[in-house]
C-alpha cells in the first residue's frame, strides 16, 4: 500500500484519497461509481494495446477517449465511463478515490483512519478535497 500511495502522491501531490482499487484484466461497461465521493485518478500498466478509457462529461454532453497506459488520468467517477477492449497478456488498472464515509468517523472501525494514514493514504482534510456539489441523479441527466 505504501508504494501505491507514494506513486500517486508523486504524480499529484495535492490529490487526496482513502481507497485504491487494483484491477487485472477487468473491462468495465458504461457505469458510474457507486462508492466515490470525490475526484479519481487512474493509471494503467502492463503488456497490452488499446484499452482506452472513455469519459463522459455531463456538463458538456460529450465523450472523450483517454489513453491511460503508463500515464495518470484525472476524472470524476460519478460521471459515466467505460473501457475499450484491449489485446495483450495483462492490463492492470489502479484507481484512487475517496470513499463517501471519509468524513463519518462513526462509520469506520476504530483506528481505521490512523492505520490508513500510517500506510500513506493522504486522507481528505475538508470538503475542498472532494466535490462539494452533487451531480444530478443519472435519471435526470442527458442520455450518455
Question: Which CATH number characterizes residue 27's domain?
Answer: 2.60.120
pLDDT at residue 138, as a whole number: 60
pLDDT at residue 34, as a whole number: 76
pLDDT at residue 131, as a whole number: 63
Q: Check: CB of residue 50 under 8 Å from CB of residue 86.
A: yes
Total count of domains within the chain: 1
Short-list 122, 137, 104, CA closest to 20: 122
Q: In the chain, count of helices (H) and strands (E)?
A: 2, 9
pLDDT at residue 105, as a whole number: 63
Q: Beta strand pairing status for 62-66 and 48-50?
A: unpaired
Q: Which domain does 117 fall in, by range?
A: 2-140
pTM for this prediction: 0.86
The DSSP 8-state label assigned to residue 123 in this structure reads -
pLDDT at residue 89, as a whole number: 94
pLDDT at residue 143, as a whole number: 46
pLDDT at residue 140, as a whole number: 59
Tens place of pLDDT per residue across the chain (144 aa): 999 999 999 999 999 999 999 999 999 999 988 777 778 999 999 999 999 999 998 888 899 999 999 999 999 988 999 999 999 999 999 999 988 777 776 677 888 889 999 999 998 887 666 665 566 666 655 444
Ordered alpha helix ranges (H), 1-141:
2-11, 112-118
Ordered alpha helix ranges (H), 12-108:
none
Compute CA distances 144 → 30, 107, 110, 128, whole Å: 9, 33, 41, 28
Amino acid at each position: 500500500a505504501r508504494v501505491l500511495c507514494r506513486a500517486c502522491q508523486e504524480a499529484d501531490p495535492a490529490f487526496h484519497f482513502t481507497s485504491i482499487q487494483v484491477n487485472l484484466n477487468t473491462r468495465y461497461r458504461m457505469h458510474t461509481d457507486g462508492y466515490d465521493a470525490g475526484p479519481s485518478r487512474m493509471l494503467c500498466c502492463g503488456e497490452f494495446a488499446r484499452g482506452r478509457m472513455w469519459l463522459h462529461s455531463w456538463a458538456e454532453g460529450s465523450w472523450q477517449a483517454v489513453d491511460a497506459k503508463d500515464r495518470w488520468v484525472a476524472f470524476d467517477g460519478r460521471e459515466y465511463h467505460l473501457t475499450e477492449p484491449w489485446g495483450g497478456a495483462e492490463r492492470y488498472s489502479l484507481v484512487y478515490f475517496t470513499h463517501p464515509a471519509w468524513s463519518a468517523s462513526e462509520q469506520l472501525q476504530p483506528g481505521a483512519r490512523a492505520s490508513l494514514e500510517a500506510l500513506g493514504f493522504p486522507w481528505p482534510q475538508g470538503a475542498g478535497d472532494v466535490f462539494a456539489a452533487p451531480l444530478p441523479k443519472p435519471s435526470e441527466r442527458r442520455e450518455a
